[in-house]
Chains A and B, each alone.
Chain A
Amino acid sequence: MKRQIPLVLVFIFGVLLAIQYFIPSEPSQKGYEFVLDWITIIGIFAMVLGIWSQIHVGYYKIRHRAEDWKYSVVTMVSMFGMIFLGLSPFGGLQGTTFRLIYTNIFIPIQATIFALLAFYIASASYRAFRARSAVSTVLLVAALLLMLRVIPMGPLADPINKIGSWMLLVPNLAAKRAILIGVGLGGVATALKIVLGIERSYLGKD
Chain B
Amino acid sequence: MTSKTAMRILMAIVALIFLFSWIIKSGSGVSDSTFTNVRDGFLITFAVFLTLSIFSFLYHDNPFYKFAESLYVGISAGYWMCYGFWSTVVGNFVPRASRSLSEFFHVPYQERADHILIYIPIIFGLILLTRLLPRIGWLSRWSLAFIIGTTAGLNLTRYLRSDFISQVSNSFIPLFVDWKGAGDFINHISLAADGQFIAILSNWVIFVGVMCGLVYFFFSKEHKGTFGVASRIGIWILMITFGASFGYTVMGRISLLVGRITFLFGDWLNIL
Interface flag for B75 (CB, 8 Å)? yes
- How distant is the Cα of A141 from the Cα of B205 in the complex, in angstroms? 18
Secondary structure of the B side of the interface? helix
Within 8 Å CB of B89, what residues of A?
41, 44
Q: Type the 1/0 row for A174-204, where 1 means its CB is closer than 8 Å to any CB of B.
A: 1111111111110110111011000000111
Within 8 Å CB of B158, what residues of A?
187
Whether B214 and A178, one on each chain, are in contact in the complex, defined by CB atoms closer than 8 angstroms, is yes
Whether A180 and B54, one on each chain, are in contact in the complex, defined by CB atoms closer than 8 angstroms, is no
In residues 177-205 of chain B, which contact A (Cβ within 8 Å)? 193, 198, 202, 205
Interface flag for B10 (CB, 8 Å)? no
In residues 207-231 of chain B, which contact A (Cβ within 8 Å)? 207-214, 216-217
- How distant is the Cα of A206 from the Cα of B134 in the complex, in angstroms? 12
Interface flag for B20 (CB, 8 Å)? no
Among B51, B54, B164, point to the contact of A181 (Cβ < 8 A).
Answer: B164
Closest to A2 in B: B138
Q: Type the 1/0 row for A25-45, where 1 means its CB is closer than 8 Å to any CB of B.
A: 000000000110111111111
What is the number of contacts between chain A and chain B, taking CB atoms within 8 Å? 384
Separation in Å of the B2 CB from the closest CB of chain A? 19
Whether A118 and B206, one on each chain, are in contact in the complex, defined by CB atoms closer than 8 angstroms, is no
Secondary structure of the A side of the interface? helix
Closest to B125 in A: A45
Within 8 Å CB of B164, what residues of A?
180-181, 184-185, 188
- How distant is the Cα of A202 from the Cα of B121 in the complex, in angstroms? 20
Q: Decide yes or no: A93 and B160 within 8 Å by CB, A45-B128, A81-B78, A141-B243 being known contacts.
A: no
Interface flag for B171 (CB, 8 Å)? yes
- How distant is the Cα of A147 from the Cα of B248 in the complex, in angstroms? 7
Whether B244 and A48, one on each chain, are in contact in the complex, defined by CB atoms closer than 8 angstroms, is no
Whether A108 and B58, one on each chain, are in contact in the complex, defined by CB atoms closer than 8 angstroms, is no
- How distant is the Cα of A145 from the Cα of B44 in the complex, in angstroms? 38
Interface flag for B132 (CB, 8 Å)? yes
- How distant is the Cα of A176 from the Cα of B126 in the complex, in angstroms? 41
- How distant is the Cα of A170 from the Cα of B104 in the complex, in angstroms? 56
Among B92, B122, B153, B244, point to the contact of A142 (Cβ < 8 A).
Answer: B244
Whether A10 and B79, one on each chain, are in contact in the complex, defined by CB atoms closer than 8 angstroms, is no
In residues 1-51 of chain A, which contact B (Cβ within 8 Å)? 1-3, 5-7, 9-18, 20-22, 34-35, 37-51
Closest to B80 in A: A47
Whether B125 and A44, one on each chain, are in contact in the complex, defined by CB atoms closer than 8 angstroms, is yes
Q: Decide yes or no: A9 and B55 within 8 Å by CB, A2-B138, A38-B120, A93-B83 being known contacts.
A: no
Whether B236 and A138, one on each chain, are in contact in the complex, defined by CB atoms closer than 8 angstroms, is yes
- How distant is the Cα of A108 from the Cα of B71 in the complex, in angstroms? 12
Whether A18 and B75, one on each chain, are in contact in the complex, defined by CB atoms closer than 8 angstroms, is no
Whether A177 and B242, one on each chain, are in contact in the complex, defined by CB atoms closer than 8 angstroms, is no
Separation in Å of the B69 CB from the closest CB of chain A? 8
- How distant is the Cα of A106 from the Cα of B138 in the complex, in angstroms? 36
Within 8 Å CB of A47, what residues of B?
80-81, 84
Which 3 interchain pairs have the tightest Cβ spacing? A178-B213, A82-B78, A174-B209
List 28 A-B pairs, Cβ < 8 Å.
Answer: A5-B142, A9-B149, A38-B120, A41-B118, A42-B124, A45-B128, A49-B128, A75-B70, A86-B85, A87-B85, A89-B104, A105-B50, A108-B51, A109-B68, A115-B257, A119-B257, A125-B246, A139-B242, A142-B243, A146-B248, A170-B206, A172-B241, A179-B238, A179-B241, A191-B156, A191-B159, A202-B141, A204-B141
**Interfacial residues, chain B to chain A (CB-CB below 8 A):** 39, 43-44, 46-47, 50-51, 54-55, 57-58, 66-86, 88-89, 92-93, 104-105, 114, 117-118, 120-122, 124-126, 128-129, 131-132, 138, 141-165, 167-168, 170-171, 193, 198, 202, 205-214, 216-217, 234-244, 246-251, 253-254, 256-257, 259-260, 263
